[in-house]
Amino acid sequence: MADSSLPSPASTPSPTAQPSGGAVSVLDLAPVLPVVVVDDAEDAVPLARALVAGGLPAIEVTLRTAAAPEAIRAIGAAVPGAVVGAGTVLGPEHVDVAVDAGARFLVSPGWTDALLSAMRASGLPCLPGVSTASEVVALLERGVREMKFFPAQAAGGTAYLRSLYGPLPQVRFCPTGGIGPANAPEYLALPNVGCVGGSWMVPGDAVAARDWGRVERLAREAAALGDTVPSSTAPSSTATAVAPAVTPSGGTCR
Ligand code: 3PG
């Protein structure tokens, strides 16, 4: 079983929903969680270094390519400031692949009981995906309080999340899908949003050109989006030289 008890962060995270023990929820590591598709594992380390240098320490590497496990492994070994997780986790076999590669957290676009059980058995923090109130309630029944909201824009966007907050204020989300610099601040201003996910800071043409300077600039702009929302709700980046501990808050996935 993977161990999620990792070193304490070197800087203070957002005051919102911080779990006990000095560990930090994935939702509180930075205002933006980059969603990365890596086609060539050789790109993984410079790409991750650029994201971390720009202020985005949490990185979701999607398990959509053959290179993804090696990319996760390489980032974990060579980029100490990164907290690398696995995304597009679709079943127990993906959980095994992610754990074997050294992923620090797990993200899925949706969930089943089999997937949730495997995520929990891994001991890693996880963000199972939801897009309806019923899915949120079903996860709450199972003790999960932190979730990915996907596909965010298509599923109702900020209006939907604002509506969920009334009856379900105990749940926090990472909305992902169709979010960019223009609409991210509106999401981040919601009390039930910890961070937003997105791929805009890793454009395909920048990766193809290995233009890591551009990725770093876009990451820096994304990290600064947390500064545009009220400080009481804004997640602030906890980028450090050493990767912070991450844990699910509220007993999620365990
Ligand atoms: C994904 O799973 O691909 C994420 O939702 C990223 O979506 P985006 O490309 O719209 O940011």
Residue with tokens 């754990």: 99
- Amino acid identity, position 78: A
Is 221 assigned a catalytic role?
no
Q: Would you say residue 41 lies in a domain?
A: yes
Domain interval for residue 82: 22-230
The answer on pLDDT for 15 being more than 90 is: no
Instruction: Name the catalytic one among 146, 148, 186, 216.
Output: 148
Closest CA to 120 of 101, 148, 99: 99
Q: Would you say residue 178 lies in a domain?
A: yes
Ligand 1 within 6 A of 198 CB?
Answer: yes
Q: Would you say residue 69 lies in a domain?
A: yes
Helix (H, G, I), strand (E, B) or coil at 205: helix
- Ligand 1 center from residue 20 Cα (angstroms): 31
| pLDDT single digits (tens) 229-252 | 654 454 555 544 455 666 644 445
Q: Which CATH number goes with the domain that contains 35? A: 3.20.20.70
- Ligand 1: which residue has its CA nearest to atom 5? 177
Token pair, residue 121, equals 């058995």
Q: What is the DSSP letter of 176?
A: B
Is 186 assigned a catalytic role?
no
Strands (DSSP E) found in the chain: 32-36, 58-62, 83-87, 106-107, 126-127, 129-130, 146-149, 172-175, 196-198
Ligand 1 within 6 A of 76 CB?
Answer: no
Q: What is the DSSP letter of 107?
A: E
Let me know the angle formed at the C-alpha of 73 by 70 and 75, rounded to the nearest 5 degrees: 110
Token pair, residue 12, equals 């203070």
| pLDDT single digits (tens) 83-140 | 999 999 999 999 999 999 999 999 999 999 999 999 999 999 999 999 999 999 999 9
Helix (H, G, I), strand (E, B) or coil at 19: coil
Closest CA to 219 of 203, 240, 242, 195: 203
Q: Which helix (H) or strand (E) holds 250?
A: none
> How far is Cα of residue 138 from the mean position of the Cα atoms in its chain?
21
How many domains, the chain?
A: 1
Mean pLDDT of the chain: 87
Q: Would you say residue 2 lies in a domain?
A: no
- Ligand 1 center from residue 126 Cα (angstroms): 17
Residue 112 near residue 90, CB atoms below 8 Å: no
Residue 236 near residue 226, CB atoms below 8 Å: yes
Q: Would you say residue 3 lies in a domain?
A: no
Choosing from 35, 59, 173 the residue with most ligand 1 atoms within 8 A of its CB, the one to mutate for a pocket test is 35
Q: Would you say residue 88 lies in a domain?
A: yes
